[in-house]
A and B are shown apart, each in its own frame.
Chain A
Amino acid sequence: MKFGTMLKDIVESFFKKTATQMYPEEKIAPPERYRGELMYDPKACTGCCLCTKDCPSKAIELVILDRAAKRFVLKYHRDRCVYCGQCVVNCKFKCMGMSNKDWEHAVLKKDFTVYFGKDEDVAQFLASLAPTPAESTNG
């Protein structure tokens, strides 16, 4: 039976640096395998839609503008995604990945939906959405 078994810890800590991470002045970068936000490479995509079938929270939708010409737009709901990585596993053509740089996901505005794709494809898709006010409240 001893008194004060943690005395050594206490005294040492007084002279050591604290264990607290001083965010936001000091930001520690996440490790390499960190599963952050989704990244999509439209060049390799063939439109098989395997990624969207198994998403647990219906966070991604593939809009097919023209299958033969390989023009796709991936609609990604950042607020629904659970960052599981199943879509990355499912994709056979390696067009999906999870970023390990972008991890501060709190935002002030509610624009959660992100559109991935080649610029002209995305522009065309957004233009087709704009006229209908009911649709623009989606996502």
Chain B
Amino acid sequence: MNTKQNLEKAEWLLANWNKETTYPEADRLDVLVTAEDLRSAVTTLHDAKWGYLSAITGLDLGVESGQLEALYHFCNGPAITTLKVHLPRVGDASLPTIEDIIPSATFFEREMSETVGFQITGAKSMDRLFISDDWPEGVYPLRADFKIEQAAPVEGRYVDEIPEEGVVRGNTFVVPIGPQHPALKEPGHFEFTVDGEVVTAARMRLGYAHRGIEKAAESRNWIQNLYLFERVCGICSHVHTMAYAAGVEKLAQVEVPMRAQAIRQIVAGLERIHSHLLWLGVAAHEAGFDTLFMYSWRDRETVMNLLEQITGNRVNYSANVLGGVKCDIGLEQAKVIKEGLDFLEVRIRHYLEVVTTDAMFLNRTRGVGTITRVEAERFGLLGPTARASGLVRDVRVEAPYGAYTRFPISAVTATNGDLEARCEVRLNELLVSCFAIRTLIDNLPEGPLTVKMPRKIPAGETISRVEAPRGELFYYIKSGGGENPLRIHVRTPSLCNWVSVLEKAVGRQLADVPMLIAGMDPCFSCNDRVVTVKHSNDQKTWSWKQLREYGIEYYKR
């Protein structure tokens, strides 16, 4: 069925609860529900398997309107249904939790509640996720009347669950990984309760690289924000600008020339190569295979040099402007790109062979962290992590945007769902990318590079989804008609994928944990803008003597 029929089906499913239905764009449906009906509406959509929960946005509609708005976005291919709930700004703004229906909602709800100020009732844990522990209570940064003076840190406030420095706390032995740890390339805090070498519980805290970008966006104009959002992340910077620019161009109802879209896709493809080679090195380093790490990062230099020759910078390329691209790809650049791609393809095939046949590396990756297709759907996973379990979640295939409508890409999947499958999926995606870039260069459409954009973007709201190397990137952009945006909400793919680490770490050895973290390709910078504790049932008190005896006993088995 096409998008329109899809949306009509969603409207029909929600007929009992909708107070008001609007179609703001051809592929979007907005349904207003009350807070009491929220759970029933979500359950209906979930049971009918109408798409997946992609993001939950919270915003403040302004002091005059006196209302807060919570948006629950469900995506099914290119069709998006948004459930809207309005709650008063002052007074009781409580929403029921939906984390028992959809587990991945817990991170979204906590982010929304601590930044906008909803109370989520019924949630298992309402610890701070992104905002730091000494932020004052009751002060919500994304509210319209937030003043910077309100943000004075509160002395001596810490989350009281963090164990004291020492060996054994109660019945558990906790190994902390982070915020500073050689395994982590960016700060994040994980606590693994171990039993000898086996992990029995996992817990995490994010927010160490939180920079308040969404709030900062509200005081900059549309063009300045392009560069602000580029710096959310270093290795997916181009797709952030693509999503942002695509959203703003949709709001301004401006058609970007096809040549610019194609160049955007070429740079995105090169960025994907860059990101996946980096990931391969990091995963190999976590496994202890330093040789593969060194070689894949050496080859990454080739793609970074290519990007520098096209766009002018190795990281944070700034290739996009609102309305098109800045840099052209002429014959000379095309030749250089093709030579680089030839070299890279040979190397990528070699790495594919290494990753799938090297016996020692397979020892660490085969059968580790297996996620079945059903589990992947339940957790709400995205990106290559989901595709390795056989679940095709790829925005480029389901909801093609930009040049993907003319130059489609095939999605790469695997069936096993373990770390080996994730390695395979990512490396195969690189080969697909190389092929796609070559096709694009050979068939680059003629035309201008940019188109004129107004400085004041017309009022409205839009949703822009693109496929980052890690999964689906979701931008919700709301304009009030002025030079500055009213609200921009970014939901990065890494936030959805954390659940896989926490659930799968339990029962595995401590040594597998860095591999599991690396396997979902986390980008802490992207998602810092979460804690679950999962216990298995057997925890004993260990004294050091018992621990040592256990170690001695262990080898005898």
Contact between A and B in the complex (any CB pair below 8 Å)? yes
Q: Which residues of A are at the interface with B, using a C-beta cutoff of 8 A?
A: 1-6, 9-10, 19, 30-35, 53-56, 82-86, 89, 98
Q: Are A55 and B327 in contact (CB under 8 A)?
A: no
Q: Are A9 and B291 in contact (CB under 8 A)?
A: yes
Q: Are A98 and B312 in contact (CB under 8 A)?
A: yes
Say yes or no: is B353 at the interface (Cβ < 8 Å to chain A).
yes
Tell me whether chain A's interface is mostly helix, strand or loop, or mixed. loop
Query: Do A89 and B292 form a contact, CB below 8 Å, given A2-B358, A19-B301, A56-B224?
Result: no
Say yes or no: is B211 at the interface (Cβ < 8 Å to chain A).
no
Q: Are A2 and B312 in contact (CB under 8 A)?
A: no
Nearest-CB residue, chain A, relative to B362? A1
Q: Are B308 and A31 in contact (CB under 8 A)?
A: yes
Q: Output the least CB separation between B371 and chain A (Å).
A: 24
Q: Output the least CB separation between B260 and chain A (Å).
A: 13
A98–B550 alpha-carbon span in the complex (Å): 64
Pick from A3, A33, A56: contact of B327, CB under 8 Å: A33
A136–B367 alpha-carbon span in the complex (Å): 65
Q: Are B313 and A34 in contact (CB under 8 A)?
A: yes
New A-B contacts (20) at CB < 8 Å, excluding given A30-B308, A86-B227, A98-B312: A2-B357, A3-B358, A3-B360, A5-B357, A6-B295, A19-B301, A31-B308, A31-B312, A33-B309, A33-B310, A33-B312, A33-B327, A35-B318, A56-B220, A56-B227, A82-B231, A83-B313, A84-B227, A84-B318, A85-B326
Q: Output the least CB separation between B11 and chain A (Å).
A: 41
A to B CB contacts below 8 Å, 30 in the list: A2-B358, A3-B359, A5-B353, A5-B354, A5-B357, A5-B358, A6-B291, A6-B292, A9-B350, A10-B291, A30-B308, A32-B309, A33-B309, A33-B310, A34-B308, A34-B313, A35-B312, A54-B221, A56-B223, A56-B224, A56-B225, A56-B228, A82-B231, A82-B316, A84-B227, A84-B230, A84-B318, A85-B326, A86-B223, A86-B321
Say yes or no: is B9 at the interface (Cβ < 8 Å to chain A).
no
**B contact residues around A3 at 8 Å (CB):** 358-360
**A contact residues around B357 at 8 Å (CB):** 1-2, 5
Q: Output the least CB separation between A33 and chain B (Å).
A: 4
Pick from B223, B327, B350, B360: contact of A54, CB under 8 Å: B223
Q: Are A85 and B353 in contact (CB under 8 A)?
A: no
**A contact residues around B301 at 8 Å (CB):** 19
Tell me whether chain B's interface is mostly helix, strand or loop, or mixed. helix
* Chain B 195-234 per-residue mask, 1 if CB under 8 angstroms from chain A, else 0: 0000000000000000000000000110111111011000
Pick from B230, B298, B326: contact of A89, CB under 8 Å: B326
A55–B359 alpha-carbon span in the complex (Å): 53
Q: Output the least CB separation between B348 and chain A (Å).
A: 14
A5–B361 alpha-carbon span in the complex (Å): 10
**A contact residues around B318 at 8 Å (CB):** 35, 83-86
Q: Output the least CB separation between B75 and chain A (Å).
A: 30
Say yes or no: is B265 at the interface (Cβ < 8 Å to chain A).
no
Say yes or no: is B113 at the interface (Cβ < 8 Å to chain A).
no
Q: Are B312 and A34 in contact (CB under 8 A)?
A: yes
**A contact residues around B350 at 8 Å (CB):** 9
Q: Output the least CB separation between A12 and chain B (Å).
A: 11
Query: Do A35 and B313 form a contact, CB below 8 Å, given A3-B359, A9-B291?
Result: yes
**B contact residues around A4 at 8 Å (CB):** 358
**B contact residues around A53 at 8 Å (CB):** 221
A13–B231 alpha-carbon span in the complex (Å): 36
Query: Do A85 and B312 form a contact, CB below 8 Å, given A5-B354, A33-B327, A55-B224?
Result: yes
**B contact residues around A1 at 8 Å (CB):** 357, 359, 362
**Residue with the greatest number of chain A CB neighbours at <10 A, chosen from B228, B231, B316, B318:** B318
**Residue with the greatest number of chain B CB neighbours at <10 A, chosen from A4, A5, A30, A86:** A5
Say yes or no: is B311 at the interface (Cβ < 8 Å to chain A).
yes
Q: Are B313 and A2 in contact (CB under 8 A)?
A: no
